[in-house]
Structure 1
Amino acid sequence: MEEDKQWVLEMTAKLHSYDPVQEPMAWKNRSIYMVPSNLIEPSKRHAYSPQMVSFGPYHHGRPHLIPMEDHKQRTLLHVLHRTSIPLQAIIDSVKQVEPQLRNQYDDQASLPDSAGAFLKMMVVDGFFMLEILRTAEKVPSDYTANDPIFSWHGMLYVLPYVKRDMLMLENQIPLLVLDRLVAAETRKPKSEDGYVHKLVADFFSLNIEATKAPGSGLGLHVLDVYRKGRIEGPVRLHRSVDGKKQSVVVRSVTELYEAGVRFTKSKTNSLKDIEFRHGVLSLPWIMLDDTSESSLLNLLAFERLHVGAGIEVSAYVSFMDEIIDTDKDVALLQKKGIILNALGSDKAVAKLFNELSRDVTIDPNSKLGEVYRALGAYSLQKTNVWRANLIHTYFRSPWAFLSLLAAIVLLGLTIAQTVYSALSYYVSLNQNNSSPPPPSLSAPPPSRF
C-alpha cells in the first residue's frame, strides 16, 4: 500500500512538471542512440561497440576501454600546458550548454546524475577527440616521438582503431562540445566559423562543403558530419605525410597477373625484400605450416605494442592480404615458388592472411608503400592489360602460338592477294586508257585533185 502511495506521489510530481509543448522539442534534439537489440545480429555486436576508446557515456568504464582513460587525461594535461587556459574556464564554457548536450542522448538513464561527472566526461573526451582530429594536419609538437598515441607509431597502430570507434553511433559526443572547447581555447565567444567541420572533413578526407547541412552551421556529431560528406559530395583522395597521393586499391594476384604483372621469387626470404620493377613483382618466399599463425600473431602484437620496433612484419602481412583473396591467388604464388604451403590447402593460406591483417596498415611513405602505389598504377594501364591478354591467350602453349602464327600468315596472304588483285585491275585500266585510239572506220574526205 505504501508503494502505491509513493508511486502516486511520483506520478503527480511528474504530471505537474509535464509540458506537452516541450515534448516534441525533446525528441527532436535526440541524435545519439543505443542500437536496439532487434537490429543486431549476435555475431555483429562488435560492429556497434568501440574496441579502443569510449566517447560519451554509453560505453564509459567498460573494462577493455579503461586503459585509454589514462591517455585521455594525459592529453588534457598537454592541452592545458600548451594553452595556459584555466580548467575552470573550460568547464564553465561547456556548462553553458549542458542541457542541450544532455538532450542529445536518447538513453537518459546512461548519463551521470551529477553535473560535475557529466561535464568532466565531455571535457576529457572532447579534448581527446580534438587532438585526434588535428593529427590530420600535424601532430602537436609537445608530444614525444615515442608517444604511444600521438606519434608516427601511434598513427599507424592506434589511429585506425580510434578512427573506427569515432564512427560508431553509440560512441558519439555532441559536436557542440568541440565547438565550446575551441571557443575556450581561442578565448572567443565562439569558435571560428566552420573550424570544427573542417577538422572532421580533413580527418576523414571529405569535401568540406558537403559536410555542411543547408541552413545550419554545426552538425550533430562526427558520424552526422561523416554521413553528409559521403552522400553529398566527392570524397577526396587520402594524402600521405609528404603530400603524395596514396595508391588506389591493389588487385589480387590473379587480377594482377591478368593485367600483365609477372611474379618472381626474391633473392632472399627477408620480408622487406619486396620490389616491383618493369612489370615484375618480386616477393620473398615463405614457408607456412601449423605454427605460422601463432608466430605471426605474436610478431604483429610486438610491433603493435612496442614503439620503435618497426612495422616490417605488419606491412608484409597487410600487403599479402591485399593481393591474396582466394585459393587461386595462393596457387599462382605457390607455382612461382613464393609460397611453400604446408598447411594442407590453398584456402587455408588465403584465410590465414585475410584474418591476420585486421586493422594492420602499410606506412604510405615506406618502400613498400611506393611498391603498393606503383603496382596499383601499373595494373590500371590499359596497354598493360591488352598486352597481358594477348600473351595469356596466344602464348600459353606452343599450339596456341602456332595457331596465332598460322592465322597471321593466312591474314597476310589474304591481304597480299587482295592488294595484288587491286593493283592488277588498276594497271590494266591504266594501260587501256593510255593506248592510241583505234583507226576511224569512216571514209576519208574527197581529194581536191
Structure 2
Amino acid sequence: MASSSPGGIRGEVGETSSSATKEVQIDNIAIETTKLEERFKIVMKARKNASMAKLYKKVEKNIKELRECFEEDVTKKYDDEALAWLLFGDGCAILQYIYCATDPDNNKFKELSIKHDSVAFGHQDLFFLENQLPYCLLKWLMSLSKMKKELEKSIKKFINEFVGKSQDQEILVEIEPESIHLLDKQRTSLLAKHGGQRVPKMEPKSTQKSNQNVNWQSYRNVQELQATGIYLKRSEDDSLSLSDIYFSTLFPCFGFLWLPPIKVDDSTGPKFFNLIAYEMCPDFDNDYGVTSYISFLDSLIDEANDVKELRKVWVLHNLLGSNQEVAQLFNEIGTDLVPNLEIFSKVKSSRQKYYKNKFLTWTSQIIHDHFSSP
C-alpha cells in the first residue's frame, strides 16, 4: 500500500485492486514494471550528463530528509543513490510538465508530441494522493534552475487554474504557508479566504459543544430551504474559497445562503476524493476544511432538482452531464464523511433559527408559492 504520510506519498509498483482478475493483475504488474525500467533507463542517461549530475548532488545531499517523507516499506528496496536519482527524475518531470501546461500558446506539449488525452490524465495524476512528491524537492530543483522565477510562476498559475481561480484572484498572504506537496498546495488555495485568511482550527471540545446546541436533523435540501424563504446566492466578489459560506437576512422574512461558485466536470470527483483522503491521513493535523465543505454541499443536494436550482443562481456550473449525475456524484463523495461541525456552525445555527421561526416560515412560503416567477 501507499504511504499515508502527507509528506510525500507514493504507491508500490504493480499495486492493483483486489477485485481485479488474476490476468488483469499480471498485465498491470508487467506494464508498471516496464514503466519503471524505462524510468531507470532515462535516469541512467541523465547520470552521464554533467549539468544534470550537478543538480542531482543537491537531491543526494538531502536524501535522508527526503526518505523520511515516505513510509519505510515504500523506499526500503532502494539505496540512497537509486532513490535520489528516481526522485530527481520525477521532480524534474513534474516541473517540466507544469511549465508546459501553463504555456499561454499551448504549444509546449505539441512540440514534445504529447497527445491531449495524455495531458489530461497527467493533469489528474499530479494530484493523486499516492503520487505526491515532497514540495521541498521541487523547491530545491527550482532554486538551481536558470528559470527559477518562471517555474515558480508556472506552479502558482497551474494551481490557480486547477482550482478555478483567475490570476486576479491570486491568494494574498503575508506569509505563505510552507507546502508539503502539490496536493497540500492545492488544498491551501481552495480554502484560502479573502486576503488569504483561513478558517481557524477548532478544538474538539468546542465542536462538541456546538453539536449539543443545534438540531442538525432539521436542515433541508435546496428545494425545501427555498420553500421556507431561504434563497441561494452566489458569494460576493465571486469568491472561490470553499470556506466562504455564510447566511444573512433581509427584513424579517427573507433569508439568504451565500455559496462560492463551483465548476463540476470529470476532474471534480478525483479532486475531492484525494483531498478528503489527504485530510483523513492520521498524521496530518488539520481542520477538515474540504471534508466539511463537501458534507455541507451534500446536505443541500439530494436530487437533480437541487442541482438545477444551484445552476439557476450560478453557484454550480455543470460540465459533467445531467443534473442527476451531479447529484449522484456529491452524494457519493459525501458518504460517511466526518466533518468539522464548528466550521459552518454559525451558518447552520442562523439558518436553523430562521427555519424555526414559524411566522417567518409561513410568510415566506406564501410569498414563494404565490408571488414567485413561474
Same fold (TM over 0.5): no
- TM-score normalised by L of structure 1: 0.34
Tell me which of the two structures has the higher relative contact order, counting C-alpha pairs closer than 8 angstroms and 6 or more residues apart: 2
User: Larger C-alpha radius of gyration, 1 or 2?
Assistant: 1
- TM-score normalised by L of structure 2: 0.41
